[in-house]
Amino acid sequence: MFNLEGSVAVVTGGNGGIGLGIALGLAEAGAQVAILARNEQKNAHALTELKKFDTRAIALPLDVTRREALQPAFEEVERRLGPVDILVNNAGIAVTRGSLKVSIEAWDQVIETNLTAVFILSRIAAQSMIKRKRGKIINIASEYSRFGSQAVSSYAASKGGLVQLTKSLAIELAPHNIQVNALAPGWIWSEMTEPVRNTPFYDEIILRTPAGRMGEPSDCAGAAVFLASRASDFVNGECLFVDGGFAIR
């Protein structure tokens, strides 16, 4: 039920953190994996990790804000690995500024990366998946899709929009046997969250998290495999929180 052998998965921003954790989980379940991410050195490291599994993997340099590069990158994946069955829209950025201080340029960059690129890539993937009457699209949201934040307003807005996009795509693509769902990771160790280490805010996070710890990227892998597999064929438009209970406390 959770076997992904024969599937081709694309993971944007899959060369580190949550993205790499998910990519490794998909590969372990048998999927061929294509990483699309900007940093070529990190891509090479991720590819080394992926090749520990008995499956094919590639890594292509891509900045998801370069709209004109998205279609060619997707076509390159399909040319090298075959038709894409799973798209994980993981690439994302955050700008630590409230609404009164964030620049318009920074706002645009966050929305472009976290929301518009997801829309474009999902449309490209859906056009391919519709031909085969099957597919899985997994969007990586955030706790801030549920909560407001005075510190990362642009990020919260982008992730809230991403959940609504997920629901809308789920409805539109369901007749084609394509399921679209989101994962909302909690506080997971990554380059983005590293600055909270050894701060009073870290102590607040741990106190609020029933699991009593920060998550690891691998903690997101199982949920992603579930949403990528036939086990979730009747799950559509959902946002699954992977947060050790943070959101319910």
Domains and CATH numbers, the chain: 8-240 (3.40.50.720)
Q: Is the pLDDT score of 191 beyond 90? A: no
The closest of 141, 170, 165, 139 to 234, measured between CA atoms, is: 170
Instruction: Tell whether the model's pLDDT for residue 74 goes beyond 90.
Output: yes
Mean pLDDT on 116-129: 98
- Tell me the whole-structure pTM to 2 decimals: 0.97
pLDDT at 145: 94
* Average pLDDT of the segment spanning 213-234: 98
202 is catalytic: no
Average the pLDDT over 169-190 and give the result.
97
Q: Provide the token pair at 134.
A: 């099957």
Range in 63-72, 149-158, 234-243 with the lowest mean pLDDT: 149-158
pLDDT higher than 90, residue 192? no
In this prediction, residues 66-94 reach a mean pLDDT of: 98
Catalytic residue among 155, 187, 241, 246: 155
